[in-house]
């Protein structure tokens, strides 16, 4: 992998990640951009103890542009975009409309491919491996920022999820505090250790492997399963078989096998509801150990287990799972698809 860092016209950082060591990235951003002005802050909810990001400048962000004006495509002639070069393998840049900025963290955009009509599932294993390298490198870089306590790499895919740019891309958030969802995991982890002396992540993975009914895909270094208490109709958790706290700690063997496993899962997701159906909308989310703030939970970083959660809000063909009163009002999920049934369906649509 070759990494090239440069700056956009308004001063934001842009990083190219290339498969070829001889790639040259010297194109200049020709857009007449003013320096970005953000108004982002985090506020704590005193009743719930979690935090909310307030980012009013995001009201003006780019919204469903036509394909020939896509800001994530390479620059072609006078069609100037966020990527000044005429091609790229993977590109990462600071978000022009960040949810988190300054002392409140950092937001980056990850462009998986220059092909506007592609998807992550259509990438080659080499391309998917390069994205993994980019996620890992950005996790390492953001972990050094004083304003970042936790790094979150994720992809929102599909208009049903709320995606406003159709180009295949994901995002990386550097949160200023441990996120509420991770805090719940850390409390459960600490309580389980206090009660049993064991590691909760290890026991969950071992139980799923022993039961087998919810295992979707198993390799030498990764296991994918539908969790026992899945929140969403089709939800898969992908764990390395050797517990590590973050992407940086994955060994070479796990990094090599990951693209095979992940691409197969994504392709199965697109086949859940039948061949020829619209692409399945999904959220793909990496859970990594925070770099700061763990002292509040009495947990060491190496107790946390890196894993990826992949889920869709589509419950059947043409029908979505809406987060209505119980889910949105009380955070109690009601799942219409039994996890064992979801796992069986995901095994049925395996690649031939």
CATH number for position 125: 3.30.428.10
Which tokens go with 240? 């390395």
Q: Are 307 and 324 in contact (CB under 8 A)?
A: no
What integer is the mean pLDDT of 66-94? Answer: 94
Q: Are residues 228 and 280 in the same domain?
A: yes
- SS3 for 14? strand
Q: Are residues 159 and 204 in the same domain?
A: no
Region of residue 124 (phi > 0: left; psi between -120 and 50: alpha; otherwise: beta): beta
Long-range interactions of 182-187: CB distance < 8 A, separation 24+: 182/150, 182/287, 182/290, 183/50, 183/297, 185/287, 185/304, 186/294, 186/297, 186/299, 186/304, 187/297
Give backbone dihedrals phi and psi of 129, rounded to 5 degrees, phi first: -65, -35
Q: Are residues 154 and 48 in the same domain?
A: yes
Domain extent, residue 291, equals 180-348
Q: Is the pTM of this model over 0.85?
A: yes
Q: Are residues 207 and 160 in the same domain?
A: no
Out of 70-74, 126-130, 162-166, pick the least confident: 162-166
End-of-domain residue from the set 175, 190, 221: 175
Q: Are 171 and 154 in contact (CB under 8 A)?
A: yes
The secondary structure of residue 325, as a DSSP letter, is I
Q: Are residues 112 and 191 in the same domain?
A: no
Residue percentage of the chain with pLDDT more than 90: 90
Q: Are residues 95 and 212 in the same domain?
A: no
Residue percentage of the chain with pLDDT more than 70: 98
Task: Give the sign of the dihedral formed by CA 175, CA 178, CA 181, CA 185.
Answer: positive
End-of-domain residue from the set 175, 207, 224: 175
pLDDT higher for 226 or 59? Answer: 226
Give backbone dihedrals phi and psi of 294, rounded to 5 degrees, phi first: -70, -25
Q: Is 192 marked as binding a ligand?
A: no
Instruction: Name the most confidently modeled range: 34-38, 51-55, 213-217, 315-319.
Output: 213-217
Q: Are residues 286 and 327 in the same domain?
A: yes
Model pLDDT for residues 253-268, shown as the tens digit of each residue? 999 999 999 999 999 9
Q: How many domains does the chain have?
A: 2
Q: Are residues 234 and 340 in the same domain?
A: yes
Model pLDDT for residues 272-286, shown as the tens digit of each residue? 998 778 899 999 999
Position 350 pLDDT exceeds 70: yes
End-of-domain residue from the set 175, 204, 219: 175
pLDDT number for residue 108: 98
Model pLDDT for residues 163-172, shown as the tens digit of each residue? 989 999 999 9
State the helix-helix crossing angle for 252-269 and 125-142, rounded to 10 degrees: 120
Q: Are residues 230 and 83 in the same domain?
A: no
Position 59 pLDDT exceeds 70: no
What integer is the mean pLDDT of 294-305? Answer: 95
Give backbone dihedrals phi and psi of 275, rounded to 5 degrees, phi first: -65, 145
pLDDT number for residue 335: 96
Q: Are residues 132 and 145 in the same domain?
A: yes
Residues classed as catalytic = 169
**Exposed e or buried b for every residue in 198-221, given b needs 16+ CB within 10 A?**
ebbbeebbeebeeeeebbbbebeb
Which tokens go with 83? 């990527």
Position 65 pLDDT exceeds 90: no
Q: Are residues 152 and 210 in the same domain?
A: no
pLDDT level of residue 36 (50, 70, 90 thresholds): confident
Give backbone dihedrals phi and psi of 264, rounded to 5 degrees, phi first: -65, -40
Position 63 pLDDT exceeds 70: no
Q: Are residues 141 and 113 in the same domain?
A: yes
What integer is the mean pLDDT of 241-264? Answer: 98
Round to whole Å and give the CA distance between 121 and 168: 10
pLDDT number for residue 61: 66
Residue with tokens 């929140």: 231
Average pLDDT, the chain: 95
Q: Is 144 marked as binding a ligand?
A: no
Q: Is 231 marked as binding a ligand?
A: no
pLDDT level of residue 81 (50, 70, 90 thresholds): very high
Q: Which helix (H) or strand (E) holds 323?
A: none
Position 58 pLDDT exceeds 80: no
Round to whole Å and give the CA distance between 128 and 252: 15
pLDDT number for residue 38: 79
Q: Is 307 marked as binding a ligand?
A: no
């Amino acid at each position: 992998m070759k990494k090239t860092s440069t700056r956009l016209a308004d001063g934001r950082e842009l990083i190219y990640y290339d498969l070829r060591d001889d790639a040259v990235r010297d194109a200049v951003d020709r857009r007449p951009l003013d320096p970005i002005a953000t108004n982002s802050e985090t506020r704590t909810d005193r009743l719930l103890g979690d935090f909310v990001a307030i980012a009013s400048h995001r009201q003006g962000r780019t919204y469903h542009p036509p394909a020939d004006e896509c800001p994530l495509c390479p620059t072609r002639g006078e069609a100037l975009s966020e990527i000044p070069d005429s091609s790229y393998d993977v590109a990462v840049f600071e978000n022009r409309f960040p949810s988190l900025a300054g002392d409140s963290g950092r937001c980056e955009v990850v462009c998986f491919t220059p092909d506007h009509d592609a998807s992550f599932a259509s990438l080659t294993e080499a391309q998917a491996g390069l994205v993994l390298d980019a996620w890992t490198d950005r996790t390492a870089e953001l972990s050094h920022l004083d304003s970042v306590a936790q790094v979150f790499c994720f992809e929102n895919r599909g208009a049903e999820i709320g995606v406003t740019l159709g180009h295949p891309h994901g995002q990386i958030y550097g949160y200023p505090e441990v996120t509420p969802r991770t805090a719940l995991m850390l409390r459960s982890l600490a309580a389980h250790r206090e009660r049993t002396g064991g590691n909760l992540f290890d026991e969950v993975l071992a139980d799923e492997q022993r039961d087998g009914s919810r295992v979707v895909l198993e390799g030498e270094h990764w296991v994918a399963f539908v969790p026992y208490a899945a929140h969403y109709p089709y939800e898969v958790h992908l764990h390395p078989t050797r517990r590590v706290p973050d992407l940086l700690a994955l060994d070479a063997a796990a990094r090599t096998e990951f693209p095979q496993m992940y691409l197969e899962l994504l392709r199965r997701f697109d086949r859940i509801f039948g061949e020829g159906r619209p692409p399945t909308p999904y959220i793909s989310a990496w859970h990594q150990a925070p770099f700061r703030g763990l002292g509040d939970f009495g947990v060491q970083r190496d107790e946390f287990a890196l894993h990826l959660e992949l889920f869709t809000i589509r419950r059947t063909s043409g029908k979505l799972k809406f987060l209505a009163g119980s889910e949105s009002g009380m955070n109690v999920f009601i799942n219409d698809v039994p996890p064992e049934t979801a796992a069986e369906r995901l095994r049925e649509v395996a690649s031939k």
